[in-house]
Every structure is written in C-alpha cells, then in structure tokens.
Structure 1
Amino acid sequence: MNSRRGLVAVIGCGLIGESWAGLMTAYGHDVLAWDPSHKALDGFVKRVGAARAQAREAQPGLEAGEGAVEVVADVADAVRHADWVQENAPESAPLKMELYDRIEAATAATTVIASSTSSLTWSELSPNLRHKNRFITAHPFNPPHLMPLVEIYAHTPEMGAEAARFYQALGRETVLLTRDAAGHIANRLASALWREAVNIVAEGIADVASVDAALVHGPGLRWSVLGAHMAYHLGGGAGGIEHYLRHLGPSQERRWATLGNPRLTPEVCARLVEGVRAEAKGRSIRELEAQRDAALIRVLAARRGGEDAAG
C-alpha cells in the first residue's frame, strides 16, 4: 500500500465499517480492514467500492487519487501501522473492551482508537485502556459515507480538537459533546421523536405511513436546513425565540403533557411491522437503501448549491 494521508484500520466490516472504508478511501486514505466473521468479509471490498463511488458523487471536486482497501487476517496486522483505528464492533462493552486490549497491544501509544458506538459511552468503554487520552467515541449517522454528522466525545479538549480535524478533513460535520451521554445528541433526539411516532400508531391517531409522510413533508424537510431551536426562533416572528417562549411556550408545554410513553408490546410491534411492510410496498432492504442513498445524494447536492449561492 502507498499511504498518502495516513493509514486507517477499520475494525468491524458490517454496514458501518464498509461505509467508513468507502469514505476514507474516497479521501485518499489507505484502509486495512479486519472482522472475525468471514460472512462480513465476503464481498467487503466490492461494497467499499460502491460506497466510495457514492461518496465521490456526493462530494464533487475530490482529488483524483483514491486510497486502497485490503482485508487482513488478524486484528494486529490491521492496526500495527495505523495512525487511526475506527472500531465498529457490535454494541457489547465486554466485546469492545477485549478488542481494545488486542488493539493496544499492537499499536503505538500515539494511535487514536475511535469507536463508532451508537449507544455505549466513553466511560463504559475506557476503564481498561492504557492510553485513555487517545480513545474517543465518534458516532456517525448511517451511512457515514453520505451522512455528514460525526458526534465526538474525547477525554481532553486537545483530543477532541484533533478528532474534529480528522473527520472534517473527510468532509464531515462534527459536534463535540461536553459531557459523556448515552445516545450522544442525535440518537437521543431521534429516539424521542420515534417514541412519539410509535405512540401515535399505538394510540390509533394515525398509521405508520401517515406518520412518516407527516415527518418527511413537514418538520423533516425544515430540519434538513434548520435545527430545532433555530426553527422555533423563526417561529416567533420578528420577536424570535423570546417572543415564542413568552407567548407560545405554554401551548408547547400542553403538547408535551399529551405525549406518550408507549411500550413495545407484541401488539404494538405487530402493528409497526405491518405498517412498515405496507409502506415498503414489496421493496427489499437493498432497494430501499438504494433509494435512500440516491435521495441523500440529491439532498446533499441541493444543500451544497444553496450554500454556494449564499456564499
């Protein structure tokens, strides 16, 4: 391999691992990949190539050079010379911690270990690490090669800043958590929204397809260009968020009071499964993923065009 921007080890070659590898090779990094599952490795390089092509389509103007990707037989071989390790193992703290022992045994003290964990926290994963300051959680949104967000928690501000620079160089939008929290930021927001989406179905207010349509064509569209706080700032008119909180805050509290806390009972799960199948209209997971990715690329192009016009 001819490393141009530093060697990255991708540990765990499922959906997230292949997506990270596609993004990183699109930006010129060489990638060594490892997974204990032969099933995960079957066709991995081809899937990385597809993700890389999408990443380059979503980000025109990248340099012509692409990094190489190679699958290796042992985790130590993947990480030994890596500058950055992106870990994507299943969401099990004991499994990840055992993996970190093997990674640290084979890497230099300066190597960064970044976990893509979506639900576990830095505090849960770091107790046995020898070099805690070089360990971060770096949660992407799926698929990482298209979704710009990376949520970072680091033990020190210096490591947080270094991590932000690394992912920003991959065209990502980074946010830094100031406190370790389960679910980070975006998954906490997404979980809160989905809880009420499930509640609406469970309470018989609307079916699955109507809930999804309301989100996509209403707040979801607005949220693609404005965050929740800024949206309500504009909702306050000329007086902004101060006016909104003073005059419409009570109505917001009344809505909060009616929100549900549903349980995923067998009956509710059956209703959700039936509703999603109806909404999918026979499309396979792969077909739905392809449609999602194509739409994301179009949305990213539109956002980029808007930013260029504003600039």
Structure 2
Amino acid sequence: MTAKPFKVAIVGTGVIGAGWATHFLAKGFEVTATDPGAGAEARLREWVDNNWPTVEALGLADGASREKLTFTTDLTAAVRHAGFIQESGPERLDVKRSLIADIEAAAEADAIIASSSSGLSVSEIQAGAKRPERIVLGHPFNPSHIIPLVEVGGGRLTSPENVTRAIAFYASTGKKAIRISKEVKGHIANRLQVALWQEAICLVQRGIASVEDVDAAISHGPGLRWALFGPFLNLHASGGPGGITHLLQHLGPAQRDWARDLGTYPETDDYIELIAKGVDAELQAHDFPEMLRQRDQLLVELLAAKRDLSQIP
C-alpha cells in the first residue's frame, strides 16, 4: 500500500480524529471526515487550522492542502472509495461495533479499517464483522499529528497480510509503526505509561514527593533520555563496556528490592482530588495553553533533531 493514489476516510472527529485528519492532509492525501455530532465540522476545521502551523514546521508533502478536506455527516459517503479508513469513535465496544458495521456496508472490498482504540482489543471490535480479516488496530498518541508512534496489530480474525499492509501504509506517511504481536489490554505504550503513573500516584499518596516534584523528576531526568533511547537501550548505555548484561547483573538485586516496594494502582477514586490539587498548584504560575503551544514547538524541534542524527533510533 503506497501513499497518495487513494482517499483516506476519518470516522470520528474528536481530538484524535482531528489529529489524524491533519496528519493525512499534511501528507498530501484527500481526506473525507465524518462525525454526527452537532458542530463537528466547525470544530474539526478549527482544529486543523490550529494544527497546520505545526505540520508546516514538520514539513508538508507535495500537494498538501487543507482544501483537500471534505466533511459529511453521511458515513456511507465518507468511506465510499476510501483506500484506508481510520476509525476514531468513542472508546465503547457497542459504538465501535456499530461503526464497523456501517463502514463495512459501504467500504471498498480491499479497504483497510483501522481503529484508534486505546484499550479495546481488535478481537472484541471485529466480532460479528462481515470481513474481519481487514480490521486492524492503528492506535496513535496525542497529539497524533505530531507524535510519530502508531501501534498496529490484529485480532484473532485479522489476516497477517493486512497488518503488514497497515504498517507499510503508516510508515509511508512518516509514522513510526510498531507491530503488536499478541493482543494485550492497553497495548504497549499505554501499559508502560500506566506502570509509571501507578508509582507516581503512590509517591504522592505516601507523602514522599509533591505532584510538581514527581513531574520534575521525569521531565528533568530520565524523560530527557527516553526521548532519544527506549528503556532497554538506556540500560545498555548505563552498563558501560559490559552493556545491558553487566547493568542487569549489577543492579538486578537492588531492582528486585525496589520493585517489591512499588505501589499498586488505587482501587478507588479517593486519590483523584489529591492529584488534581497538586496539578492545580503546579500550574498556578503558568499559562497552560501557552505551555501546550511551547510543548508542540519543542516536539517539532526534537523530532527534527532526531531526524538529523542517523544513529538515534
């Protein structure tokens, strides 16, 4: 599957769907989007307009234009003749299955249907589908028009060939597509995030550190390295000449001891007020919308820097 000669359809135009629409428009595609919500078209076009300076900074493909965006409330018209369909509806199994049924009724026979689901499995989503072999996971990360990662996988009834096709398509649009070889709740990156959030919440609950200091511990510490290397390469780099083998042998006993002391995710919502108050305190001296703008600017600069360094994965 190659980029350009066909149309991309976006089903669901919330924050994630709008990010996908921006991404595909920036790569030169004709994009037809659909959403039944009141005011959906106006919100989508405003989001795309707001996102456009960022994708311009990242680099537009030949022919990229916001004028290639079409909106319709008619799902059938939106997906007809589309070569790739990105479903980004609400994270509810009944809604996903209903959307898939409507998409299949109108889609081309060889069109890939990719779900942006952040936690539901493809096997659950594709149950009852007429052609489940072409339904895949295509889970992005917000902001999806900037962050390259997309997690791709199939369900029990998805053909491996269609997973490979989806990966190739995403890669052709500049995404860093990774394959999920076995379905698991939350996929890959969200599970890694939850592991960190679990301990972050525990440290605040135990009075070990404030919300602000936990945030600083990551953003001014290992988070800087994680933007360049993943966890295993960082361990390898910390191991000196002996690499990851030496590091794990050396720190293994201590890490096992630390792991036994890690917190568990709270079983009730009592923690939410504590964390929310901590975030409010952290943001008191800041303009959060401006922080987000600066975040996006720095992400663009970081991605450009990584692109220029051939040995950074």
Scaled by the length of structure 2, the TM-score of the pair is 0.92
Match of 1:149 in 2: 149
- Tell me if 1:299 matches 2:302: yes
Summarize deviations over 1:152-182 as a string: whole Å, max 9, x none: 0022331121111111111110100110111
Deviation (angstroms), 1:246: 1.7
Work out the CA distance in 2 between the residues paired with 1:282 and 1:90: 34
| Secondary structure of 2:82 counterpart | coil
**Amino acid in structure 1 at the alignment position of 2:144:** P
Match of 1:46 in 2: 46
Deviation (angstroms), 1:248: 1.3
Deviation (angstroms), 1:42: 2.5
Q: Is the 8 A contact 2:180 2:187 kept in 1?
A: yes
**Amino acid in structure 2 at the alignment position of 1:257:** R
Alignment partner of 1:220 out of 214, 220, 223: 223
Match of 1:62 in 2: 61
Match of 1:99 in 2: 99
Q: How has the CA–CA distance of structure 1 residues 80 and 282 changed in structure 2, closer, same or farther, with 3 Å as cutoff?
A: farther
Deviation (angstroms), 1:4: 4.8
Deviation (angstroms), 1:51: 2.1
Larger displacement relative to structure 2 (296-305 or 94-103): 296-305
Q: How has the CA–CA distance of structure 1 residues 100 and 130 changed in structure 2, closer, same or farther, with 3 Å as cutoff?
A: same
Q: How has the CA–CA distance of structure 1 residues 162 and 269 changed in structure 2, closer, same or farther, with 3 Å as cutoff?
A: same
Alignment partner of 1:197 out of 195, 200, 205: 200
Q: How has the CA–CA distance of structure 1 residues 100 and 64 changed in structure 2, closer, same or farther, with 3 Å as cutoff?
A: closer
Q: Which runs of 5+ in 1 are unaligned?
A: none
Match of 2:238 in 1: 235
Summarize deviations over 1:212-270 as a string: whole Å, max 9, x none: 11101111111111111111112221111111222211111111011001416454211
Aligned-pair Cα RMSD in Å: 2.0
**Amino acid in structure 1 at the alignment position of 2:277:** E
Q: Which runs of 5+ in 2 are unaligned?
A: none
Deviation (angstroms), 1:62: 3.1
Work out the CA distance in 1 between the residues paired with 2:226 and 2:5: 34
Match of 1:252 in 2: 255
* Corresponding residue pairs, total: 307
Summarize deviations over 1:185-225 as a string: whole Å, max 9, x none: 10000011111011111111100110011101111111111
- Tell me if 1:24 matches 2:24: yes
Q: How has the CA–CA distance of structure 1 residues 61 and 11 changed in structure 2, closer, same or farther, with 3 Å as cutoff?
A: closer
Work out the CA distance in 1 between the residues paired with 2:53 and 2:60: 13
Q: How has the CA–CA distance of structure 1 residues 138 and 35 changed in structure 2, closer, same or farther, with 3 Å as cutoff?
A: same
Q: Is the 8 A contact 1:23 1:55 kept in 2?
A: yes
Work out the CA distance in 2 between the residues paired with 1:228 and 1:236: 13
User: Map of 1:66-105 to 2, 5 A cutoff?
Assistant: 66=65, 68-105=68-105
Summarize deviations over 1:5-35 as a string: whole Å, max 9, x none: 3101101011001110001001011111111
Match of 1:108 in 2: 108
Q: Is the 8 A contact 1:167 1:174 kept in 2?
A: yes
- Tell me if 1:166 matches 2:169: yes
Deviation (angstroms), 1:301: 2.0
Q: Is the 8 A contact 1:23 1:52 kept in 2?
A: no
Work out the CA distance in 2 between the residues paired with 1:136 and 1:266: 33
Deviation (angstroms), 1:290: 1.9
**Amino acid in structure 2 at the alignment position of 1:122:** V
Q: Is the 8 A contact 2:202 2:265 kept in 1?
A: yes
Q: Percent identity?
A: 38
Deviation (angstroms), 1:111: 1.2
